[in-house]
């Protein structure tokens, strides 16, 4: 194994969970996310000589989201939009949970359901900003758009997520769960 | 600034991403507008809720192995050279010439020194299997093996626990290599014994791709000031995998 490969492993393998989480949220499917992350690591390795030692996590995540969109475009022609199916995301809650744990679990599940309802460009900006903590500037580089666009996209994504979250909650309350 | 303008900039304001000229104006507006203040609180509150409760997906264990396998393929010498050759021809020619010069220099100076090391490592490995002297300290617990080296060597070799990856720690012993006493850490993988020699980088760093000699496979690398050399009768692929896992544990 060469030194280059070792340096690559040391910098990028620790970010595997972040890479997978992003791909999984964009693609909403385990197998696709795995394929895309694998492809992204190969791309990253082949472009490693262009890496200047800046934020490795942001650099890798950019490649992951680009690989995810390549995947989207490739599949777009032969795949129809699949409507959201409630049962598929139904959550199994064990009965012996304490009341507060129960509430937190429900909130998690509601939030997951709400984010799943957003379009992918909103999902990714939420993950990259709120979870991965990229700055607006890093987001602009990663998404390939001006900072002004980042500003308005993140703002709209948050608003939509908040609305969906409220709706999911209301619906659950109406169902008496 | 009216409420519409403020609303457009409110997220950036809360995130601390707004430039210094616009900040005071937003602040002034918020001081006098309860509606926008309330909205600002909602945005900030929801943002912390998302950070605290959004479920994260963890990469499945098999994904790391798959990535490693495809990286091994991608970093194989053939594709590496093809990749380089995509650059303009003149550079390619220059690189080739340089390559020949380096290759002949390497042939003259490099392998002899490594050859000595390799022969000694092979002898050590074979010896450890033949006579009843595989380990001086027998334990599958790294907390026992690691301290055993204290006082016997002037450095502290890291001992990785690779049981979950299928490599059972057998123990450790002291061996001679590179003209000095070195730590030998012994693992068992199936029926194969793997010796890992560890010693400080003094005047040369070890960097050997997986090679084969006399039926053994071995490779070497350096990491955080220490040289590592692992050898076994296992397959080349097994040895490379072992190196991956071992290095990975050291990075943790």
How is residue A81 annotated by DSSP? Answer: P
The pLDDT of residue B80: 52
Helix (H, G, I), strand (E, B) or coil at B50: helix
- What pTM value is reported for the model? 0.60
For chain B, the average pLDDT equals 85
Q: List the single best residue of B53, B91, B248 to mutate versus A (max A Cβ within 10 A).
A: B53
Rounded to whole angstroms, what are the CA distances from A136 to A10, A21, A150, B9, B53?
A: 26, 20, 7, 13, 22
The pLDDT of residue A93: 40
The pLDDT of residue B250: 82
**Higher confidence at residue B129 or residue A129?**
A129
The C-alpha atoms of residue A60 and residue A52 are separated, in whole angstroms, by 12
Please give the average per-residue pLDDT across A19-40, as a whole number. 94
At residue B109, does pLDDT exceed 60? no
For residue B98, what are the contacts with CB-CB under 8 A and spacing of at least 6?
Answer: none
At residue B79, does pLDDT exceed 70? no
Could you give the ipTM of this predicted complex? 0.81
* Cβ-nearest to B60 among A34, A41, A165: A34
Count of A–B CB contacts within 8 Å?
124
The pLDDT of residue A116: 93
Q: Do B46 and A155 touch (CB under 8 A)?
A: no
Burial of B61 (0-12, 13-18, 19+ CB in 10 A): exposed
> Please, which pLDDT band fits residue A107 given cuts at 50, 70 and 90?
confident
The pLDDT of residue A76: 66
Name the percent of chain B lying above pLDDT 70: 89
Backbone angles phi, psi at A29, to 5 degrees: -160, 130
The C-alpha atoms of residue B230 and residue B47 are separated, in whole angstroms, by 49
Q: Do A45 and B75 touch (CB under 8 A)?
A: yes
What's CA B151's distance to the chain center, in Å? 28
Task: Give residue-wise pLDDT tens across range B135-189.
Answer: 888 888 989 999 999 888 989 999 999 998 899 999 999 998 888 899 999 999 9
At residue B251, does pLDDT exceed 90? no
The pLDDT of residue B66: 92
End-to-end CA distance of chain A: 55
Please give the average per-residue pLDDT across B19-27, as a whole number. 88
The C-alpha atoms of residue B248 and residue B252 are separated, in whole angstroms, by 7
Angle B57-B63-B65 from CA coordinates, rounded to 5° = 145
Q: List the single best residue of B6, B67, B228, B249 to mutate versus A (max A Cβ within 10 A).
A: B67
A78 to chain B, closest Cα gap in Å: 26
The pLDDT of residue A86: 36
* Cβ-nearest to B71 among A45, A104, A161: A45
Which alpha helices (DSSP H) does chain B contain, by range? 3-14, 23-32, 34-53, 61-74, 77-85, 89-130, 142-148, 236-251
The C-alpha atoms of residue B203 and residue A145 are separated, in whole angstroms, by 49
A97 to chain B, closest Cα gap in Å: 17
Please give the average per-residue pLDDT across B195-211, as a whole number. 89
Please give the average per-residue pLDDT across A45-55, as a whole number. 86
For residue A32, what are the contacts with CB-CB under 8 A and spacing of at least 6?
Answer: A23, A71
For residue B70, what are the contacts with CB-CB under 8 A and spacing of at least 6?
Answer: A38, A41, A42
Answer whether B245 touches A (CB < 8 Å).
no
Q: Do B57 and A126 touch (CB under 8 A)?
A: no
Task: Give residue-wise pLDDT tens across range A55-101.
Answer: 899 999 999 999 998 888 777 655 544 433 333 443 444 445 566 77
Span of A100-104, A123-127, B27-31, B61-65 with lowest mean pLDDT: A100-104
CB B243, CB A8: distance < 8 Å: no
Q: Do B57 and A38 touch (CB under 8 A)?
A: no
* Cβ-nearest to A126 among B50, B70, B251: B50
Chain A residues 101-130 with CB within 8 Å of chain B: 104, 107-108, 111-112, 115, 126, 129-130
Q: List the single best residue of B55, B217, B243 to mutate versus A (max A Cβ within 10 A).
A: B55
The pLDDT of residue B227: 93
Q: Strands B216-223, B137-138: parallel, antiparallel or unpaired by DSSP?
A: unpaired
The C-alpha atoms of residue B49 and residue B45 are separated, in whole angstroms, by 6
Bridge partners (DSSP) of residue B229 are B197, B220
The pLDDT of residue B88: 64
The closest of A124, A17, A155 to A62, measured between CA atoms, is A124
């Amino acid at each position: 194994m060469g030194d280059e490969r070792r340096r690559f492993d040391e910098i990028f393998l620790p970010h595997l969970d972040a890479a997978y989480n992003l791909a999984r949220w964009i693609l909403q499917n385990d197998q696709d996310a795995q394929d895309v992350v694998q492809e992204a690591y190969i791309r990253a390795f082949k472009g490693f000589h262009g890496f200047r030692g800046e934020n490795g996590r942001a650099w890798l995540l950019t490649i992951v989201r680009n690989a995810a969109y390549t995947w989207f475009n490739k599949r777009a022609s032969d795949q129809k939009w699949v409507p959201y199916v409630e049962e598929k995301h139904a959550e199994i809650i064990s009965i012996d949970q304490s009341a507060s744990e129960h509430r937190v679990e429900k909130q998690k599940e509601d939030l997951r359901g709400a984010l799943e309802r957003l379009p992918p460009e909103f999902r990714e900006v939420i993950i990259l900003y709120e979870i991965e903590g990229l700055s607006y500037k890093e987001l602009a580089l990663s998404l390939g758009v001006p900072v002004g666009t980042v500003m308005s996209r993140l703002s709209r994504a948050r608003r939509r997520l908040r609305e969906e979250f409220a709706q999911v909650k209301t619906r659950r309350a109406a169902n008496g769960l | 600034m009216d409420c519409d303008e403020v609303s457009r900039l409110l997220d950036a304001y809360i995130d601390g991403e707004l430039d210094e000229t616009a900040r005071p104006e937003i602040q002034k507006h918020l001081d006098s507008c309860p509606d926008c203040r309330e909205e600002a609180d909602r945005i900030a509150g929801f943002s912390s809720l998302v950070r605290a409760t959004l479920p994260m997906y963890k990469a499945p264990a098999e994904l790391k192995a798959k990535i490693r396998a495809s990286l091994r393929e991608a970093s194989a010498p053939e594709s590496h050279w093809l990749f380089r050759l995509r650059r303009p021809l003149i550079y390619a020619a220059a690189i080739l010439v340089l390559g020949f010069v380096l290759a002949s220099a390497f042939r003259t100076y490099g392998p002899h020194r490594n050859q000595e090391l390799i022969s000694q490592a092979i002898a050590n490995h074979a010896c450890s299997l033949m006579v009843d002297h595989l380990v001086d300290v027998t334990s599958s617990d790294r907390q026992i093996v690691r301290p055993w080296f204290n006082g016997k060597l002037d450095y502290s070799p890291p001992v990785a626990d690779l049981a979950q990856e299928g490599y059972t720690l057998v123990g450790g012993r002291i061996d001679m290599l590179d003209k000095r006493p070195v730590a030998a850490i012994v693992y068992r993988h199936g029926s194969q014994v793997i010796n890992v020699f560890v010693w400080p980088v003094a005047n040369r760093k070890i960097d050997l791709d997986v090679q084969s000699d006399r039926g053994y496979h071995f490779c070497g690398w350096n990491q955080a000031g220490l040289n590592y050399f692992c050898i076994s009768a296992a397959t080349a692929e097994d040895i490379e995998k072992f190196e991956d896992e071992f290095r990975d544990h050291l990075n943790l």
